[in-house]
Amino acid sequence: MPSRALWIAMGLFAVVVSGPAAFGQQVDSEQPVLMTADDLSFDEDLGTATARGNVEIVQGERILNADAVTYNQRDDIVTATGNVVLLEPTGEVLFAEFAELTSDMREGFLRGFRMLLNDDSRLASVSAQRRGGVETELTRAVYSPCRNCLGFDDEPLWQIKARRVVHNAEEQEVVYRDATLELLGVPIAYTPYLSHPDPTVQRKSGILTPTFGTSSLLGSNIQVPYFWAISDESDLTFDPILSTDQLPVVTGEYRERFASGENRTRVSFTRDDAQTDKDRFRGHIDSETRFSIDELWRWGADIRLASDDTYLGRYGFRSDDTLTNRLYVEGFGSRSYAVAEGLYFQGLNDEDIQEETPIVAPNLEYSYISPPGGFGGMTTLDANLRALTREVGATSQRISLTPGWQISHTDSLGSITSFRTSVQGNLYNVNDAGTESGRENDVAGRIFPQAIVSWRYPWVRRSGPNSQIFEPLLALVVAPNAGNPDDIPDEDSQSIAFDETNLFDANRFSGTDRVEGGQRLVYGIRTGVFGELGGASTLTVGQSIRFRESNPFPSGTGLEDQISDIVANLQITPNRFMSLLYKTRFDHDSLRARRTEIAASVGPSALNVDLNYVFFDRTSGFPDREEVTASLQSKLTDQWSAQMETRRDLTTEGGTLSYGAALVYECDCMNFELVYNRTFTTDRDIPRVESLTFRITFKSLGQIGSSVL
């Protein structure tokens, strides 16, 4: 029997010699046909060539494998039998028991057909018809993307059965006629027509899965999104909310990418009579724009506006306490940063008065730090120009310059000493018309020099698999005792959060309008234990003492006395199944906690508990607050997971704020989610809400969801 190599040579010779005559104009001369087989025979009377045993025919990017292949030269037909596999140039793989194809393998009939799509989804049918190399029509077909997501008796968890299915690789679409959706073998939906993009499609225009629900706010409602792929660079999702008790909420999101930037914009609007007995227009816009100018500079715009305070929360849009609008240009140098911006704020809390909310335009900032010079010293510069206006209340313009110089030195014992000095210069033009001061216009200035010397000495010791560190910390801050005259307004320094993160800062105010004068000593320790396997425990504790009793801080901040409160931060992470964060501030006299924050997570994914606790004493500068949030998550199996959560106000007038539970199933072809939530808080025309959401997401088909409120 001739060797395989001989038959390969004979096959190649037969194709090269007889190919043009056999295939006619259907074979591109630039796409030669190559064939290999264990056995090759030719019947001159019938005009047929037969290849048997591990047959492989390659034409361009299309490959045919079979146990046996017969080519009929007269009819220009290729017949393949036994384990037929046809690999398409677009990536699909066709399987069949029997195939009768044209010589270019682009058209023909297949029996016992299966098709593997690019994302491992599968089609199967009794028979299939190939047309033009791009369209496959299946008869009595089944489709399912499930491979590792199986139901009973290893059947797919869900599948679609149809009388006829057409897959068009050119149009990248799968179309079903008389289709039935089965879940766990049980028919749950029927449609005479269904289509979805094939796996090669990244985006395509069409209707997305609707969401159904009922609500005490909206009544019965439905949201049917439509996705419009406008171009390769832009698209639009139009998803209005239709309800029985309210007029429609028209909403949509537009997205576009450019060569040097991108834009995303969502808008919505409606009319309703909430809070009043008269219909009024309500709506919002949420837009983000980013564009690069060159390698150093970019510009952007953030626009977030709402018609009123409660619109976003009432209709389920993304909401914050304050909406920030920003138009800016910024540049990033190797050792510098510059920004020019305008800011507009819209407060959504009940106590916010829009006429008193400032508009900041322009706000110019520049920061620079030089390369290390002689002895390692570096020069710094921070500059700012800000104009602030209000419809009602004070307006001001500010120029601020803060040059500085800093150096750090490590001695032979390993202790590190740092020195920084700076001079902050501010010039203000203030218009206080209408305020209690009675001033119409005022010009104020300030020159504020400051120096800080800090020292730390890290001691490190290794003990078995662990490393230990103990680091004493000291700092001496020297500055004039005064620095905050009454004629300088406080616009950016009203928020003061004293903790271990700003304990050693030169200025513990949040902004520039207020400075921390006087002399003070700051001390603390930082210690920790670190394991080789990643476990770690760290503790930071510190306090400061002023040399004079006078201070610029209000009561409750922890800095109002000559001796500050004690701040501490403890983090314990012994392994990946446990973590604890404990932050606190103790009263320096009674050592009573004035603020406490605890975040703990314990357990593996099979059963994990999260606990978050927050406490603010009424003397801590914040309203009296004590709140706890607890959640329990469990990964029941590889597919099933569950979660429960509750949030409770622990103050005297408090109670449960919200609670909820969720059950989730995830596998390779379907996601299932059942979520229950109940809230007990209200905000004007936003009442307490109880909701039950049920959502099924079928791979390739989108999601089916409903909710009850």
Query: CB neighbours (10 Å) of residue 424?
Result: 21
Q: Are 700 and 670 in contact (CB under 8 A)?
A: no
Mean predicted confidence (pLDDT) in 102-130 = 86
User: How far is it, in rounded angstroms, from Cα 457 to Cα 158?
Assistant: 64
pLDDT on residue 619: 57
User: HSE-up of 286 (CA within 13 Å, CB side)?
Assistant: 14
pLDDT on residue 520: 95
Above 90 in pLDDT, residue 465? no
- Tokens standing for residue 51: 């290849």
* 15 — pLDDT class (breaks 50, 70, 90): very low
Strand partners, 520: 477, 546
Mean pLDDT is lowest, of 177-191, 294-308, 358-372, 676-690, for 676-690
Query: CB neighbours (10 Å) of residue 605?
Result: 10
Above 80 in pLDDT, residue 212? no
User: How far is it, in rounded angstroms, from Cα 630 to Cα 570?
Assistant: 20
Ramachandran quadrant class, 185 (left: phi over 0; alpha: psi -120 to 50; beta: rest): left
Of 263, 325, 315, 258, the closest CA to residue 289 belongs to: 263
Q: Are 674 and 640 in contact (CB under 8 A)?
A: no
Ramachandran quadrant class, 571 (left: phi over 0; alpha: psi -120 to 50; beta: rest): beta
Give the contacts of 58 (CB within 8 A, at least 6 positions apart): 33, 34, 35, 64
Above 50 in pLDDT, residue 443? yes
- The dihedrals phi and psi of 513, each to the nearest 5 degrees, come to -65, -25
Of 316, 311, 286, the closest CA to residue 223 belongs to: 316
Q: Are 342 and 335 in contact (CB under 8 A)?
A: no
Mean predicted confidence (pLDDT) in 463-488 = 91
Determine the residue type at 646. T
Give the model confidence (pLDDT) of 404-438 as tens digits.
999 999 999 999 999 999 999 999 999 875 444 44
Mean pLDDT is lowest, of 131-140, 460-469, 681-690, for 681-690
Mean predicted confidence (pLDDT) in 606-619 = 87
Strand, coil or helix: 145: coil
pLDDT on residue 639: 87
Above 80 in pLDDT, residue 486? yes
* pTM (predicted TM-score): 0.79
Which of 131-135, 339-343, 514-518 is the most confident on average? Answer: 339-343
Above 80 in pLDDT, residue 23? no
Q: Which H or E element spans position 17? A: helix 4-23
Above 80 in pLDDT, residue 644? yes
Query: CB neighbours (10 Å) of residue 677?
Result: 17
pLDDT on residue 702: 59
Please give the full DSSP string across 59-85, using - where no structure is assigned: ETTEEEEEEEEEEETTTTEEEEEEEEE
User: How far is it, in rounded angstroms, from Cα 241 to Cα 286?
Assistant: 17
Please give the full DSSP string across 236-291, using - where no structure is assigned: EEE--EEESSS--BEEEEEEEE-SSEEEEEEEEEEEE-TTSSS-EEEEEEEEEEEE
Query: CB neighbours (10 Å) of residue 525?
Result: 13
Give the model confidence (pLDDT) of 541-553 as tens digits.
999 999 998 888 8
pLDDT on residue 618: 64
- The dihedrals phi and psi of 13, each to the nearest 5 degrees, come to -65, -45
* 11 — pLDDT class (breaks 50, 70, 90): very low
pLDDT on residue 500: 93
Mode of pairing for the β-strands spanning 520-531 and 566-575: unpaired
Above 70 in pLDDT, residue 481? yes
Q: Are 94 and 69 in contact (CB under 8 A)?
A: no
Q: How far is CA 303 from CA 168, 266, 474, 561, in A?
A: 43, 10, 45, 42
pLDDT on residue 446: 93
Determine the residue type at 430. V
Above 70 in pLDDT, residue 169? yes
* Reduced 3-state DSSP string for 181-202: EEECCEEEEEEEEEEEECCCCC
Quickly tell me which residue has 């869900």 as its tokens: 158
Mean predicted confidence (pLDDT) in 489-513 = 91
Mean pLDDT of all residues belonging to the chain: 86
Above 90 in pLDDT, residue 30? no
Mean predicted confidence (pLDDT) in 217-238 = 86
pLDDT on residue 319: 82
Q: Are 425 and 512 in contact (CB under 8 A)?
A: no
Of 120, 117, 160, 158, the closest CA to residue 141 belongs to: 160
pLDDT on residue 440: 65
Residues of the chain with pLDDT > 90, as a percent, come to: 47
User: How far is it, in rounded angstroms, from Cα 652 to Cα 433?
Assistant: 42
Mean pLDDT is lowest, of 203-207, 234-238, 375-379, 499-503, for 203-207
Q: What are the extents of the domains in the chain?
A: 4-197
Q: Are 304 and 286 in contact (CB under 8 A)?
A: yes
Which of 175-189, 579-593, 623-637 is the most confident on average? Answer: 579-593
Give the contacts of 378 (CB within 8 A, at least 6 positions apart): 369, 370, 371, 372, 405, 406, 407
Of 200 and 377, the one with more pLDDT: 377
Q: How far, in whole angstroms, is CA 614 from its chain's centroid?
A: 26
Q: Which H or E element spans position 659? A: strand 656-666
Above 70 in pLDDT, residue 477? yes
